[in-house]
Amino acid sequence: MALIVQKFGGTSVGSIERIQQIAKKIKTFKEAGHDLVIVVSAMSGETNRLLGLAKQMSVKPNLRELDVMVSTGEQVTIALLAIALNDLGVAARSYTGGQVRIVTDSVHTKARILHIDDQRIRADLKANSVVIVAGFQGIDEEGNITTLGRGGSDTTGVALAAALKADECQIYTDVDGVYTTDPRVEPKARRLDKITFEEMLEMASLGSKVLQIRSVEFAGKYNVPLRVLHSFKEGPGTLITIDEEVSMEQPIISGIAFSRDEAKLTIRGVPDTPGVASNILGPISNANIEVDMIIQNISQDKTTDFTFTVSRSDYQMAFDILKETASKISAKEVAGNLDIAKVSLVGVGMRSHAGVASRMFGVLAKEGINILMISTSEIKISVLIEEKYLELAVRSLHKAFELDVPDKTLG
């Protein structure tokens, strides 16, 4: 008998029928004698629908109110699932994040979990009840409803598993595991049996939305055994593990991540004096905007061009701040570009293999894809390219690094 936290994503609870199917699945686990804490997302499309309503009301909705509204999606699914389980004769109780006391900071729409009160959950488990918790939401110290950022139900699941010292956290979704790249873009992508926390963290932070990045951070920090599985198909899924034994057959690259959520900003003709980077990026970071890639070029006239990338949702705010900075520091102009994307190779095998970057650049050059920016770390290489080349880049890299599923028809 184990304590298992199971998280079901939006498509898995996307209709009444699916919620009934999930309830049956949970019943089977319960009958096998496990203690179960279930985390659910809103029905697929619901969070976007709610956000759309707020956008109709105001171009810049108040973030506290946005959280009050957008958290309702998950409140519906927890109750529906509890009703479905009760109908199957399974004792189940649903809780919002606030009711559990998943306490977060007060950064609305991207709050971080500070601590979780496990009393209520433990009492219900002791009474042999299935506990259902709304994903994606919490409450701050003042009692305001907060949300954890898009895809945040994964983080609720892993954080609960950590707080309860669960035996495993299972993330049920619409793919049967973590693949070498998003199978929607490359149908030849392969399911991985295992991936290290470190690699998964890079994959998630570089755009693979199969797991929210904070959920992987939590799992790594608290050593929560984490598995990604298909909600409606049997299979071993993918285990996220600390085991980093790189076997001889292990490919150098474990996966390819990509992100369209990129925006590039350039400030040109900045007088080149000490403190330039801090003058430009200080106000951006003060506005809570995360900067990703950065390049600075010095030209002969002793001025510098400074380019950096931010997430698309922060683009407008970053642009306005940069315009203000430009007039303060007598820069020539500010330019921006949203038609870009980032493609990254990830793999712990890179540590022991030289030449991955040049091979990557060679593959892109052969396809006529221009590289706009590059950044590297020990286990990843990222390039920024024009968005129109994204699929081509992912597929040609997938093939060149021998990640394609073997073609069975050729024997």
Residues that bind ligand ADP (CB under 6 A): 9-12, 41, 151, 173-175, 178-179, 181-182, 184, 208-210, 255
User: Sheet of 3-8: strands edge to edge?
Assistant: 92-95, 130-134, 35-40, 3-8, 168-173, 226-230, 238-241, 194-196
The amino acid at residue 231 is S
DSSP state of 179: B
Complex with ligand ASP: residue 155 or 304, whichever CB lies closer: 155
Query: Residue 215 CB, nearest distance to ligand ASP (Å)?
Result: 9
Spell out the residues 6+ positions from residue 87 whose beta carbon is closer than 8 angstroms to its own: 23
Query: Residue 153 CB, nearest distance to ligand ASP (Å)?
Result: 3
Minimal CB distance to Mg ion: which residue?
A: 151
Ranges of H-type helices in 58-107:
63-70, 72-87, 97-100
Instruction: Answer whether 132's CB lies under 8 Å from 95's CB.
Output: yes
Q: Quick one: which of 97, 98, 138, 151 contacts Mg ion (CB under 5 A)?
A: 151
CA distance 411 to 407: 7
Q: Which phi and psi (to 5°) does residue 270 adopt?
A: -90, 130
Query: Residue 327 CB, nearest distance to Mg ion (Å)?
Result: 41
Tell me: does residue 138 bind Mg ion (CB under 5 A): no
Tell me: does residue 157 bind Mg ion (CB under 5 A): no
Complex with ligand ASP: residue 134 or 253, whichever CB lies closer: 134
Tell me: does residue 220 bind Mg ion (CB under 5 A): no
Q: What are the angstrom distances between the C-alpha of 350 and each of 279, 347, 359, 379?
A: 35, 6, 12, 6
Q: Which stretch binds Mg ion (CB under 5 A): 150-158, 233-241, 296-304, 391-399?
A: 150-158
Helix (H) or strand (E) holding 360: helix 356-366
Instruction: Tell me which of ligand ADP, ligand ASP, Mg ion, none is bound by residue 73, counting a contact when its beta carbon lies within the kind-specific cut-off of 5 to 8 angstroms.
Output: ligand ASP
CA distance 348 to 366: 26
Reference 128, options 157, 163, 92, 181; nearest CA is: 92
Instruction: Tell me which of ligand ASP, Mg ion, ligand ADP, none is bound by residue 210, counting a contact when its beta carbon lies within the kind-specific cut-off of 5 to 8 angstroms.
Output: ligand ADP
Hey, which residues does 55 pair with through a beta bridge?
A: none
Complex with Mg ion: residue 11 or 21, whichever CB lies closer: 11
Residues that bind Mg ion (rule: CB under 5 A) add up to a total of 2
Complex with ligand ADP: residue 41 or 129, whichever CB lies closer: 41
Complex with ligand ASP: residue 135 or 177, whichever CB lies closer: 135
Query: Residue 245 CB, nearest distance to ligand ASP (Å)?
Result: 32
Complex with ligand ASP: residue 155 or 307, whichever CB lies closer: 155
Q: Which residues bind ligand ASP (CB under 6 A)?
A: 9-10, 41-42, 47, 73, 135-136, 150-154
